[in-house]
Amino acid sequence: MKNLNPLMTAIVLTAAAASFAPTAAFAEGGFYIGGSVGAATLDADIGDTGIPSLPPSIDEDDTAFKVFAGYNFDLPVVDLGVEVSYADFGEPQIDIAGDPLLIGTTSLNLWGIAGLDLGPVNVFGKFGYVDYDAEAVYLDASDSDNGSGTGYGVGLRFGLGPVELRGEYEIYDLDDEADVEMLSVGIAFYF
């Protein structure tokens, strides 16, 4: 992935801060809402299109964000939860003969989440269903595609009462030829 050093730094600093704050505690479970921002990389194999300046594969990144809501079942040592999210992966750009080809992708997701409490820090994994929409725009022409796939990821959460800081790495398998990787930092509020 390209240009993700500030994001990785933020995740490492969040984890480091969590290790020095033994009095912080997670919310006792319940409903939460939140949002994250980061970078997403679109990796797609488009094959030979007959256009000389269009590469057979795409590996481009852009700024991304997501909003989410869920419910966390706080069990001893282990947390289990469900989460729904909407992610916008930005519009990675490829230049074709000096003109930009923009590829915008969004997804609506349903996740199952399992976490392990390690004091003020929680490590978690997620697996879920991804319903995506993609649109390519070049000059005055556009083409769109939609479908479903699977997603999975890992992350760290640091609880400060009803507020939770999180860093995540997620992979969205859109179809056999394309996937999106997202690295993000965010915040959640429990109520």
User: Is the CB of residue 155 less than 8 Å from the CB of residue 2?
Assistant: no
From first to last of the 191 residues of the chain, give the pLDDT tens digit. 455 565 555 555 555 544 444 434 445 679 999 999 999 999 887 665 555 566 667 788 999 999 999 999 878 878 899 999 999 999 998 887 788 888 899 999 999 999 998 878 999 999 999 999 999 888 888 888 899 999 999 999 998 889 999 999 999 998 878 899 999 999 999 99
What is the tens place of the pLDDT at every residue in 53-79? Answer: 666 677 889 999 999 999 998 788 788
Query: Is 182 in contact with 168 (CB distance < 8 Å)?
Result: yes
Cβ atoms of 37 and 185 within 8 Å: the answer is yes
CA–CA dist 15, 161 (Å, integer): 16
In whole angstroms, what is the distance from residue 177 CA to residue 154 CA?
A: 23
**pLDDT number for residue 22:** 41
β-bridge pairing 30-45 and 57-74? antiparallel
Backbone dihedral angles phi then psi of residue 114, each to the nearest 5 degrees: -130, 130
| Cβ proximity of 82 and 71 under 8 Å | yes
pLDDT at 57 (0 to 100): 73
Fold of the domain built from segment(s) 5-19+37-47+60-190: Porin (2.40.160)
CA distance 9 to 158: 16
**pTM recorded for the entire structure:** 0.80
Residues counted in the chain? 191
What residue has token string 């984890």? Answer: 15
In DSSP notation, 159-174 reads EETTEEEEEEEEEEEE
Tell me how far apart the alpha carbons of residues 44 and 29 are, in angstroms, rounded to a whole number. 38
pLDDT of residue 123: 95
